Amino acid sequence: MAVDILIGLQWGDEGKGKIVDVLAPTYDIVARFQGGPNAGHTLEFEGTKHVLHQIPSGIFHPHIQNIIGNGVVLDPIVFRVEMQKLQDRGVDATQNLFVSKKASLILPSHRVLDRVSEEALGNDKIGSTLKGIGPTYQDKIGRVGLRVGDVLADNFKERYEKLVDRHRKTVEFYGKTLELGEEEQKFFEAVEYLRTLQIVDTEYMINEAIQSGKKILAEGAQGSLLDVDFGTYPFVTSSTTLVAGACTGLGVAPRHIGEVYGIFKAYCTRVGSGPFPTELLDQVGEDIRQAGREFGSTTGRPRRCGWVDLPSLKYSIMLNGVTQLNMMKADVLTEFDTIKVCTHYKLASGEITDHLPHSLDTETVEPIYEELPGWRVDLNKIDTVEDLPAAFVNYLNFLEDQLQVPITIVSVGPDRKSTLKRESEKVA
Ligand code: GDP
Ligand code: IMO
Ligand code: MG
């Protein structure tokens, strides 16, 4: 099969950027299919850390073509800054980056709309990254949005003004005034820059690549529990973060999908509001946050931390048809004598289940834990799977047994090299 997909199984920040970068050399194309600058994908190699927001994580491999697909919402201002940062680090992405004509454009006024609608929600706020994601997808679905291909037309400015006019009225509805200041000028400069890049019909590019036997890796953003349909609604993002999103977000038919890598942390994190059954509000949670440096790559916000949650992982595996699991940040749990795993939820009615209730938001669930012994060995210092401590292998086996999917990659540090491949025949 030509198209493999890497999907976050939790609430994002699982380590997708790192693994895409590790797997990339075996692919011809890496493509983003949804989300936008709300994503922050971190890659580390040769002592340097890179955070990508909209540019696919295959960009550091010059032979790989990188695609920003039609399902993405693209902020030209953020994009230009990202391209400049790469340039400053000696990476010229202009030749191996392709942007879909059908990707949606984030305008400065979309960011304002994001802010005013969050403010209006008060205590019910989503905890959005405020990058304009929701309002831009709203305009897309409302069939009034602007797309990357529109920047090539003569009437772009006119169409921009028409859309901003709509936004002005919405901002006024919230009792605020739309003030864009220098952002508007920055936007047009960034659009000018975007025009010089390879803006193409990426759906043709990808399908021609499939026909000629090339291999494609689709890079998910956010995580399955932030999916607009199946996530912890309304505390979700505004796109389809599941495998299905790769089909619509790239123009790929389902029959071309091969491996589905499901990526999860050895524990669990969430940033922003919304339910999180295994959240640890005590010192253990704080210890995980410190050991895992759990602060957002995009907003710098502290991430909420908790134990691994099997009912939600099973749900994500089911929805995505995951064929291989990648466990990240195993090294972070070194200091714990006991590792807890939530195997079931106890509902308010007393029922014990491993299914997610209709709404985790309104239904209070009590996690039921199984305790496993910790390993107390610094996994970051381990180079081969054979040297992994028995207690850690026990943890892996327990999870594989529960989830019924092999864990083929274990990540033991942020660097590209801190990656252990198990059962290597299953890894692309
Ligand atoms: P993404 O959004 O899924 O790409 O993940 P982020 O980049 O937002 O967050 C993952 C964070 O964990 C980044 O700071 C990575 O450098 C770091 N990271 C990734 N894998 C590992 C690992 O195995 N161990 C440790 N300690 N850090 C890791
Ligand atoms: P990556 O790709 C973690 C969260 C926000 C908020 C909710 C809605 O790095 O894993 P939005 O800005 O999309 O309207 O915010 O989704 N969120 C993420 N959390 N990682 C991400 O991306 C996220 N992108 C959005 O915190 O709760
Ligand atoms: Mg992230």
Classified as helix, coil or strand, 139 is: helix
How far, in Å, from the CA of 17 to the mean position of ligand 1? 8
Instruction: Tell me whether residue 13 is one of the annotated catalytic residues.
Output: yes
Residue 9 in contact with ligand 2 by CB distance below 6 A: no
For residue 296, the model assigns a pLDDT of 84
List, as one string, the DSSP characters of 23-59.
HGGG-SEEEE-S--TT--EEEEETTEEEEESSS-TTT
pLDDT at residue 152 in the model:
97
Catalytic one among 4, 21, 41, 331?
41
Tokens of 204: 């043709």
User: What pLDDT, on a 0 to 100 scale, did the predictor assign at position 197?
Assistant: 98
Q: Is the CB of 38 under 6 A from ligand 2?
A: yes
- pLDDT at position 425: 39
**341: CA distance to ligand 2 center in Å?**
24
Q: Which of 43, 237, 329 to mutate to test the pocket of ligand 2 (most atoms within 8 A of CB)?
A: 237
Question: Burial letters for 207-230: b for 16+ Cβ neighbours within 10 Å, e otherwise?
Answer: bebbeeeebbbbbbbbbbbbbbeb
Side-chain half-sphere CA neighbours of 358 within 13 A: 1
> Which residue's alpha carbon is nearest to atom 17 within ligand 1?
414
Place of tokens 């299953």: 426
The protein residue with its alpha carbon nearest to ligand 1, atom 9, reads 13
pLDDT of residue 187: 98
CA of 38 to the centre of ligand 2 (A): 6
CA distance 176 to 160: 20
Q: Is 197 in the pocket of ligand 2 (CB under 6 A)?
A: no
What burial letters (b/e) apply to 59-77, b meaning 16+ CB within 10 Å?
Answer: bbeeebbbbbbbbbbbbbb
DSSP E strand stretches across 69-171: 73-74, 97-100, 104-105
> pLDDT (tens digit, 0 to 9) for every residue of the chain, 428 residues total?
799 999 999 999 999 999 999 999 999 999 999 999 999 999 999 999 999 999 999 999 999 999 999 999 999 999 999 999 999 999 999 999 999 999 999 999 999 999 999 999 999 999 999 999 999 999 999 999 999 999 999 999 999 999 999 999 999 999 999 999 999 999 999 999 999 999 999 999 999 999 999 999 999 999 999 999 999 999 999 999 999 999 999 999 999 999 999 999 999 999 989 999 999 999 999 999 999 999 987 778 899 999 999 999 999 999 999 999 999 999 999 999 999 999 999 999 999 999 999 888 778 899 999 999 999 999 999 999 999 999 999 999 999 999 999 999 999 999 999 999 997 434 44
263 Cα nearest atom in ligand 1: 3
- d(CA 303, CA 223) in angstroms, rounded, equals 14
32 lines ligand 1 (CB under 6 A): no
pLDDT at 427: 43
- Joined together, the tokens standing for residue 36 give 């936008």
Q: Is 50 a catalytic residue?
A: no
CA–CA distance, 218 with 162 (Å, rounded to integer)? 34
Closest ligand by atom to 126 CA: 2
- Across-strand partners of 270? 304
Residue of 4, 13, 21, 114 marked active site: 13
What backbone torsions phi and psi does residue 93 show, to the nearest 5 degrees? -90, 0
